[in-house]
Amino acid sequence: MPRRFLDFMEPITRYLPEIVKPKRKISLKEKFLWTALALAIYLVMAEIPLLGVPTSSGYDAFYFYRVIFASKRGSLMELGIGPIVTAGLIMQILAGAKIMNVDLNNPKDRGLFTGTQKFLAIVMTAFEGIAFFIGGAYGTTTLSSGVVIIAQLVVVGILVILLDELIQKGWGLGSGVSLFILAGVAQSVIWQSFSPVGPVADGASLGAIIAFFQFSLAGNPLAAFTRSTYASMTGFIMTLIVFLISVYLEGMKIEIPVAYAKYGGMRAKIPLKFMYVSNIPVILASALFSNIFLLGNIVWTNFNTLNSNPLMNWFVMKNATSSTYLPGSFCYYISSPNSITGTIADPLRALTYILMLVGFSALFAVIWVQVAGMTAKAQADQLVKAGMQIPGFRRSPAIIEQIMNRYIPSLTIISGIAIGLLAGGADMLGALGTGTGILLSVGIIYQYYQILAKEQLAEAYPGLGRLMGQE
């Protein structure tokens, strides 16, 4: 039997740093402490500047994605969770397209898949660090400084991977990736709403709410709603609207009636959420876009700084002074206008951006359902193994799959399109923390609510906790 790619990776994955699962039951209080420690380490690293990097200023081509990937420009968290997400994206595409032969129901294969993804995340950390350096993200630096910068990013990248693993393996609550995203979005929204820094170029403070009062006292409150470069009241209101819509969508579900054959036909309901694929597709789409921008920066900085190459201009053109993307290039049309004034000024860019985001979100939704074992067939098999059946039908996976197929394929596409539209629309109107960031935050808060409820129930009723899979 020919060896698979995962089999070749097995010797390498053995030597990767790893967090061991706890051998005893961790109390909820201890989990809170470990989670808080991981968050504190992340926040500290986000404030420590990279050694050898000059103070950053001017336009940041990756600003829109830093909130999503929990990164901060010029700090040890320059790359954030970007390499982890990118590695996950690559592995999921390879598995979903059947390019990589892996059985995720097999514990050994699942372990090899996870180990390979961890190794790829480390490789992507080094690759993205090199790409940032080559792309001129750190200004004019020497080769020796570049080596020091990349070494720092790789070490911190491994630490972030281990912090995520620490939380996911049972020492903490949820996942490190979710925790860091939530912290980054909350920090961004609060800063953009209440920052007293200023006055900036338009004569008011950076924070949208403070600027609104300043403009109102000056007799021009409308200016607070039409700011294009800085946080606006339009963006603040859009943030609240997207938050409320996201909360509403999180609660929408279709309930499938089931019966427990082992317990005298006792009936229950299996909920299929409207947001069936959660926010995963828009994260993957954002990861794809950010890597396209990274490639664009490398191409422009090294081969096309004068925008004189017709073949490269279709892909990327930038303003040499402000480093913003110029109309006519692919990178320009897949970047959000970021404000209502920008959307009105260039509706073609806004339309292209949202169509691309929605299209890729729907595509990744389909891929994710296949990879994550959320298809109608997988759900039917799980229900039969759990001893359930649909009332009025024989206990057969084929019958349950047929019923599930009425809902799951449609929910997959619709939820992918819905989150793409919501995130893209919020981005175009300048939502604080970005539309994707708000969507992620609502989903993460909801997940933590469920985790805490489950943990508290397990501590209060240990027998029920064992039934739910709590150790």
The answer to whether 332 touches 326, Cβ cutoff 8 Å, is yes
For the ranges 151-160, 173-182, 243-252, 319-328, the one whose mean pLDDT is highest: 151-160
What are the distances in angstroms from CA 252 to CA 3, 243, 247, 413, 421? 45, 15, 9, 16, 17
In this structure, of 93-97, 123-127, 258-262, 291-295, the range with the lowest mean pLDDT score is 258-262
The domain that holds 159 is classified in CATH as 1.10.3370.10
Confirm whether 95 is domain-assigned: yes
Q: Which residue has the tokens 């190459």?
A: 309
**Residues 6+ positions from 233 with CB-CB distance below 8 Å:** 208, 209, 211, 212, 224, 225
Residues 61 and 331 sit within 8 Å (Cβ to Cβ) = no
Q: Do 60 and 179 share a structural domain?
A: yes
37/163 same-domain check: yes
Q: What is the pLDDT of residue 38?
A: 93
Q: Domain residues for 423?
A: 235-431
- Cβ-count burial of 322 within 10 angstroms (0-12 exposed, 13-18 middle, 19+ buried)? exposed
Q: Which pLDDT score is estimated for 122?
A: 93
pLDDT digits (tens, 9 = 90+) for 285-311: 887 888 888 888 888 988 888 898 988
Which residue carries 């073949």 as its tokens? 311
Check: CB of residue 326 under 8 Å from CB of residue 318: yes
Residue 262 gets which letter from DSSP?
A: G
How many structural domains comprise the chain?
Answer: 3
For residues 149-173, give the mean pLDDT: 91
**Mean of the pLDDT values across residues 150-161?**
93
Based on the domain organization, do 245 and 212 belong to the same domain? no
**Domain match, 271 and 247 both:** yes
C-alpha of 93 from chain center: 16
Residue 444 domain flag: no
Q: Are residues 7 and 78 in the same domain?
A: yes
User: What average pLDDT does range 177-188 have in this prediction?
Assistant: 88
340 and 208 fall within a common domain:
no
Split at pLDDT 50, 70, 90, the class of 1 is very low
**Residue closest to 277 by CA, chosen among 105, 408, 433:** 408
Statement to judge: residues 222 and 267 lie in one domain = no
**pLDDT tens track for 243-263:** 998 888 888 888 877 777 665
